[in-house]
A and B are shown apart, each in its own frame.
Chain A
Amino acid sequence: MAVRELGVSVTVEVSNLIKQFDGGHVRAIDDVSLAIEEGEYLVLLGPSGCGKTTLLRTIAGLEQPTSGDVLIDGSVVNGLPPRVRKVAMVFQSYALYPHKTVLANIVFPLKPEKLPKQERESKARWAAELLGIDHLLDRKPRQLSGGERQRVALARALVRAPHVFLLDEPLSNLDAKLRASARDELKRFQQRVGTTTVYVTHDQAEAMGLGDRIAVMNHGKLRQLGHPVEVYDDPADTFVATFIGSPPMNLVPRDGTLVGFRPEHLLPAAHVSGERVEASFHVDRIEYLSGDRHVYGTVNGIGKDTRVIARLPATVTDAVTPGESHPFAVNVDKLRFFDAESGERSEPVRVDAEHG
């Protein structure tokens, strides 16, 4: 909490934001409105080309909206250059200045502030210390590892005490092992500094792990905004349902609706208590992944026969044999219903095993 005083937390808001490219042929952002609270860690999640990076860049001031407003700390910042918005951004490539030393990279954003040289350097050293890179100050970026570069980029973003952090897939250039630890560090770091953060990623694990709230985007539209638990348990539509979760939510067509349930909720009937929907599960093949069994097969009895995936945790030891049918079931509380046409959430319908 010692660092908290440097984090000036402000709100960030976009309202009815539209961004068109190529003279209106491409709508990168299609009428998005969302408000980010003070000190919140908001993750923009979506597949590539969904407009999440464009949204981030519009907040940064690198792109100007076609229509709609960007508000930082309650005031409209449309048309203002990035410098005035007091935002700091970490790029996917880190965008360090390759000809400058680490120290010079971190000092760079302080130069417009007309501080004496010594004060600038001591601020830069402080930021470097905070991120544990103070022993690298004389190196050039090419002499650093991916993780170290990422910290330099963070230190450069942090040193100016920005009001908003904008992070554009900062972990995607790290290898898988480093990514997990960097994710943890990033989260703890933001909690210490307390600065409002917008984080763009296409990786749902990062989104679920880091975000206070997640904004799921697709085709330039905001599909759902909510806490990780909400987004996972109560997806607003079939896009969110299948984009989040690995393996994704199973969707079984039934009378103009889609019945959705998560793979971990389709279990051998003996393991499902309470009110449940029973189904016969014809198993094709099994994958053994980090302790869980992912069972691929066709489910019969919930709706139309559909290929689905069941995820059996290590605690479920029932024998499941490929080529055979087994009695499986889903608790009715775990069922989610979507309109087959629009993909939107719809009213629950009664599902009984006899159907189909």
Chain B
Amino acid sequence: MAETLTEPETPPRQKIDGARQRLSDRDGFLAWIFLVPTVVYIVVLVAIPFFLAIAFAFSDVTSGNPSYDWVGLENFYRVFDDAVFWQSLRNTFVFTVISMALIVVLGKVLAMILVADFKGKWIVRFLVLLPWTTPVALSSVTWLWLLHSIYSPIDWVLRNVGLIEDNMYFLGRPGLAMGSIIAVHVWRLVPLAAVIMMVGILSIPDDITEASRIDGAGFWRRMFEVTIPLTFPLIAVAALFGAIFTFTDMAVVYVLTGGGPTNSTHVLASWSFVRGIGGGDIGQGAVIALFLFPLLLAAAILILRAVRKMETI
């Protein structure tokens, strides 16, 4: 700096010919360009509907009369007075907890099959991933047929093997219907969980597995003392995905049972849909849907905290 001041006759430094900073060289600009789609997505498709739902929950908006009138907690009282709401809330938890547990256990088993080296593993991998690639509604319709009260092939097999006399009516009895819904959730989410956990297993250095073999640890000890602790963050992520997808899903319930028999299998999402869209009472639908939020938030925070704890090993 001092030099240029004392020697003013120094020729100005030439820039390299044709060299100038292009737009693609400017990190600040690029950061904004790349962020904008995500920001738009979150604002338009997540934030606005979320705040609309909060607003509707305190209004008397119906599909027939969309004018907004403040009614305070009126919708909440009406929702809480309805036994079906409490039934759906309970069902949501039952479905989520049982599915999540099964998804994690079966996902872990499948993940180990996916990483195993054997002949024909590609066909196994392909079959394992198939449920996840099928649209939920489509696979639910297939299951609807598989579990049909009269034409169910599952019933047919069980009958012919001699295990049952009469048809099971899978979707016609409350207990069996819930079991069927859980089974379908598990069936479609296990592949995702398996792939997530497979990544975890593959990320363990071979050295560590081999060291534990040298140290004399057998299969179960290796699994519980080495593999599971080291892949815990990804197991937690798989559990989180399993829980969220089960918790918020209405397609399986809606297609399989429509909430029946006699509202015994409704979950928050399907009940909210039936009330708000089917019945046209947007206010009540919004109140029911809002119950998904704090519970999901709590679950997400819990699991992400567990993950962070593990990351600091």
Contacts and interface: CB of A to CB of B under 8 A. Distances in A.
Interface of A: 60, 62, 81-83, 87-89, 91-93, 95-99, 108-109, 111-112, 140, 142, 156, 160
B208 A95 contact: yes
A89 B209 CA distance: 13
B313 A142 contact: yes
B313 A98 contact: yes
A98 B207 contact: no
B313 A156 contact: no
B205 interface: yes
B313 A89 contact: no
A95 B207 contact: yes
A98 to B, nearest CB: 5
Contacts, number: 60
A99 B212 contact: no
B214 A108 contact: no
A111 B221 CA distance: 10
Interface string B192-225: 0000000000000101101111111110010001
Contacts of A93: 205, 207
B226 interface: yes
Contacts of B225: 97, 108
B105 to A, nearest CB: 21
B230 interface: yes
B205 to A, nearest CB: 7
Interface of B: 205, 207-208, 210-218, 221, 225-226, 229-230, 310, 313
Given A96-B211, A108-B212, 17 more contacts: A62-B210, A62-B213, A83-B214, A91-B210, A92-B207, A93-B205, A95-B205, A95-B207, A97-B208, A97-B226, A98-B230, A109-B215, A111-B216, A111-B221, A112-B216, A140-B313, A160-B215
23 contacts: A62-B213, A62-B214, A81-B213, A89-B214, A92-B207, A93-B205, A95-B205, A95-B208, A97-B211, A97-B212, A97-B225, A97-B230, A99-B229, A99-B313, A108-B217, A109-B214, A109-B215, A109-B216, A111-B216, A111-B217, A112-B216, A112-B217, A112-B218
A142 B312 CA distance: 9
Contact of A88 (B214, B217, B229, B230): B214
A95 B210 contact: yes
A273 B225 CA distance: 67
Contacts of A81: 213
Contacts of A97: 208, 211-212, 225-226, 230
B220 to A, nearest CB: 12
B217 A82 contact: no
B14 to A, nearest CB: 39
Contacts of B215: 83, 108-109, 156, 160
The 10 closest A-B pairs by CB, nearest first: A95-B207, A83-B216, A95-B211, A109-B215, A112-B216, A99-B229, A82-B214, A91-B207, A89-B214, A93-B207
A115 to B, nearest CB: 13
Contacts of B214: 60, 62, 82-83, 87-89, 109
